[in-house]
Amino acid sequence: MKRLLATVVLLVTVLLASACRTTSTYEVSSTPTPDIRVGTRARTWDVRCGDELLGSVALFEDRRRHEDSVYVVRNAWKQDLGLIDALGRAFRYLPHREEPVWVGSGTIAAGAQRIFGVARECELVERGESDADPLPGTAPAAEPERAQPLADPVDAPPSDAGLPQSR
Protein backbone atom coordinates (compact mmCIF):
# COMPACT_ATOMS: atom_id res chain seq x y z
CA MET A 1 0.00 0.00 0.00
CA LYS A 2 2.84 2.35 0.82
CA ARG A 3 4.39 1.59 -2.50
CA LEU A 4 1.14 2.35 -4.35
CA LEU A 5 0.76 5.62 -2.45
CA ALA A 6 4.37 6.60 -3.23
CA THR A 7 3.84 5.78 -6.92
CA VAL A 8 0.68 7.91 -7.07
CA VAL A 9 2.40 10.85 -5.35
CA LEU A 10 5.38 10.56 -7.72
CA LEU A 11 3.08 10.39 -10.75
CA VAL A 12 1.09 13.46 -9.60
CA THR A 13 4.34 15.36 -8.96
CA VAL A 14 5.65 14.55 -12.44
CA LEU A 15 2.35 15.55 -14.05
CA LEU A 16 2.25 18.86 -12.16
CA ALA A 17 5.88 19.62 -12.96
CA SER A 18 5.37 18.94 -16.66
CA ALA A 19 2.22 21.07 -16.75
CA CYS A 20 4.17 24.31 -16.15
CA ARG A 21 5.15 25.95 -19.40
CA THR A 22 7.06 29.11 -20.05
CA THR A 23 6.34 30.97 -23.28
CA SER A 24 8.81 33.56 -24.56
CA THR A 25 7.94 36.03 -27.28
CA TYR A 26 10.36 38.22 -29.19
CA GLU A 27 9.36 41.29 -31.17
CA VAL A 28 10.82 41.16 -34.64
CA SER A 29 10.95 44.39 -36.61
CA SER A 30 9.48 44.26 -40.08
CA THR A 31 11.82 46.99 -41.28
CA PRO A 32 15.49 46.24 -41.90
CA THR A 33 18.21 48.01 -39.97
CA PRO A 34 19.02 51.28 -41.76
CA ASP A 35 22.32 51.53 -43.60
CA ILE A 36 24.10 54.66 -42.35
CA ARG A 37 26.24 56.52 -44.88
CA VAL A 38 28.49 59.44 -44.07
CA GLY A 39 29.07 62.17 -46.63
CA THR A 40 31.77 64.80 -46.64
CA ARG A 41 31.26 68.42 -47.59
CA ALA A 42 32.72 68.89 -51.06
CA ARG A 43 31.59 72.35 -52.25
CA THR A 44 29.67 75.35 -50.93
CA TRP A 45 27.76 78.14 -52.67
CA ASP A 46 26.23 81.40 -51.46
CA VAL A 47 22.61 81.91 -52.54
CA ARG A 48 21.98 85.50 -53.68
CA CYS A 49 18.84 87.21 -54.91
CA GLY A 50 20.02 90.49 -56.38
CA ASP A 51 22.25 92.05 -53.71
CA GLU A 52 20.68 90.11 -50.84
CA LEU A 53 22.45 87.08 -49.35
CA LEU A 54 19.74 84.52 -48.54
CA GLY A 55 21.96 81.72 -47.29
CA SER A 56 24.09 78.89 -48.62
CA VAL A 57 23.99 75.50 -50.31
CA ALA A 58 26.50 72.82 -49.30
CA LEU A 59 27.14 69.63 -51.29
CA PHE A 60 27.75 66.52 -49.20
CA GLU A 61 29.11 63.60 -51.23
CA ASP A 62 29.44 59.92 -50.51
CA ARG A 63 32.68 58.87 -52.19
CA ARG A 64 31.33 55.43 -53.05
CA ARG A 65 27.88 56.33 -54.43
CA HIS A 66 27.08 59.47 -56.41
CA GLU A 67 23.33 58.78 -56.00
CA ASP A 68 23.66 59.45 -52.26
CA SER A 69 24.94 63.02 -52.72
CA VAL A 70 22.75 65.67 -51.13
CA TYR A 71 22.69 69.47 -51.22
CA VAL A 72 21.79 71.04 -47.86
CA VAL A 73 20.16 74.50 -48.05
CA ARG A 74 20.82 76.81 -45.07
CA ASN A 75 19.67 80.31 -44.26
CA ALA A 76 22.00 83.19 -43.34
CA TRP A 77 21.98 82.01 -39.67
CA LYS A 78 23.29 78.55 -40.71
CA GLN A 79 19.97 76.81 -39.97
CA ASP A 80 19.04 73.92 -42.28
CA LEU A 81 15.93 74.83 -44.28
CA GLY A 82 15.80 71.90 -46.66
CA LEU A 83 17.70 69.62 -48.98
CA ILE A 84 18.03 68.77 -52.65
CA ASP A 85 18.83 65.19 -53.62
CA ALA A 86 21.02 63.96 -56.49
CA LEU A 87 17.95 63.79 -58.78
CA GLY A 88 17.17 67.50 -58.31
CA ARG A 89 14.15 67.03 -56.04
CA ALA A 90 13.90 69.88 -53.50
CA PHE A 91 12.42 69.29 -50.04
CA ARG A 92 11.71 71.95 -47.39
CA TYR A 93 11.66 71.24 -43.66
CA LEU A 94 8.49 72.40 -41.91
CA PRO A 95 8.10 72.88 -38.15
CA HIS A 96 6.46 70.01 -36.27
CA ARG A 97 6.66 67.63 -39.26
CA GLU A 98 8.88 64.55 -39.28
CA GLU A 99 9.38 64.43 -43.03
CA PRO A 100 10.28 67.35 -45.31
CA VAL A 101 7.77 68.51 -47.94
CA TRP A 102 8.53 68.31 -51.68
CA VAL A 103 8.53 71.82 -53.20
CA GLY A 104 9.70 71.10 -56.73
CA SER A 105 12.31 69.60 -59.03
CA GLY A 106 14.92 71.08 -61.32
CA THR A 107 18.31 72.69 -60.97
CA ILE A 108 20.05 73.34 -57.67
CA ALA A 109 19.42 77.10 -58.01
CA ALA A 110 15.71 76.54 -58.71
CA GLY A 111 15.45 74.16 -55.75
CA ALA A 112 17.14 76.68 -53.43
CA GLN A 113 14.79 79.40 -54.69
CA ARG A 114 11.75 77.22 -53.90
CA ILE A 115 13.11 76.26 -50.48
CA PHE A 116 13.71 79.94 -49.61
CA GLY A 117 10.26 80.78 -51.00
CA VAL A 118 11.31 83.80 -53.07
CA ALA A 119 9.74 84.84 -56.37
CA ARG A 120 12.88 86.31 -57.93
CA GLU A 121 15.51 84.11 -59.56
CA CYS A 122 18.44 83.18 -57.30
CA GLU A 123 22.10 82.99 -58.22
CA LEU A 124 24.64 80.54 -56.77
CA VAL A 125 28.14 81.96 -56.15
CA GLU A 126 30.70 79.28 -55.32
CA ARG A 127 32.92 79.85 -52.32
CA GLY A 128 36.58 78.96 -52.22
CA GLU A 129 38.04 76.54 -49.67
CA SER A 130 39.15 79.43 -47.47
CA ASP A 131 35.62 80.97 -47.53
CA ALA A 132 33.86 77.79 -46.38
CA ASP A 133 32.10 77.66 -43.02
CA PRO A 134 34.16 75.95 -40.34
CA LEU A 135 32.95 72.50 -39.39
CA PRO A 136 31.14 72.25 -36.04
CA GLY A 137 33.57 71.83 -33.18
CA THR A 138 36.52 73.33 -35.03
CA ALA A 139 38.00 76.74 -34.47
CA PRO A 140 37.97 79.18 -37.38
CA ALA A 141 41.35 79.92 -38.91
CA ALA A 142 40.69 83.68 -39.01
CA GLU A 143 41.78 86.02 -36.25
CA PRO A 144 39.39 86.30 -33.30
CA GLU A 145 36.66 88.91 -33.52
CA ARG A 146 37.22 92.17 -31.71
CA ALA A 147 34.63 93.34 -29.26
CA GLN A 148 32.00 95.53 -30.92
CA PRO A 149 30.84 98.65 -29.11
CA LEU A 150 27.37 98.34 -27.65
CA ALA A 151 24.67 99.63 -29.96
CA ASP A 152 22.76 102.73 -29.03
CA PRO A 153 19.40 101.65 -27.52
CA VAL A 154 17.68 103.90 -30.07
CA ASP A 155 19.17 101.74 -32.88
CA ALA A 156 17.95 98.47 -31.31
CA PRO A 157 14.88 96.81 -32.84
CA PRO A 158 11.67 96.99 -30.81
CA SER A 159 11.39 94.17 -28.28
CA ASP A 160 7.95 93.08 -29.51
CA ALA A 161 9.34 92.18 -32.96
CA GLY A 162 11.17 89.14 -31.56
CA LEU A 163 14.11 87.41 -33.15
CA PRO A 164 14.73 87.48 -36.90
CA GLN A 165 13.17 84.45 -38.56
CA SER A 166 13.76 82.69 -41.82
CA ARG A 167 11.29 83.07 -44.63
pTM of the model: 0.59
* Structure confidence at residue 66 as a pLDDT band (50, 70, 90): confident
- For 27, list phi and psi in degrees, rounded to 5: -85, 125
Q: What is the distance between the alpha carbons of residues 59 and 38, in angstroms, rounded to a whole number?
A: 13
Q: Which residue has the higher pLDDT, 150 or 61?
A: 61
Which pLDDT does position 115 carry in this prediction? 95
Across 18-24, average pLDDT:
68
What SS3 class is residue 27? coil
pLDDT exceeds cutoff 90 at 39:
no
- Burial class of 127 by CB neighbour count within 10 A (0 to 12, 13 to 18, 19+): middle
Q: Which of 82, 83, 84, 85 is nearest to 67 (CA)?
A: 85
The pLDDT value recorded for residue 152 is 47
pLDDT on residue 11: 74
Work out the average pLDDT over 103-123.
92
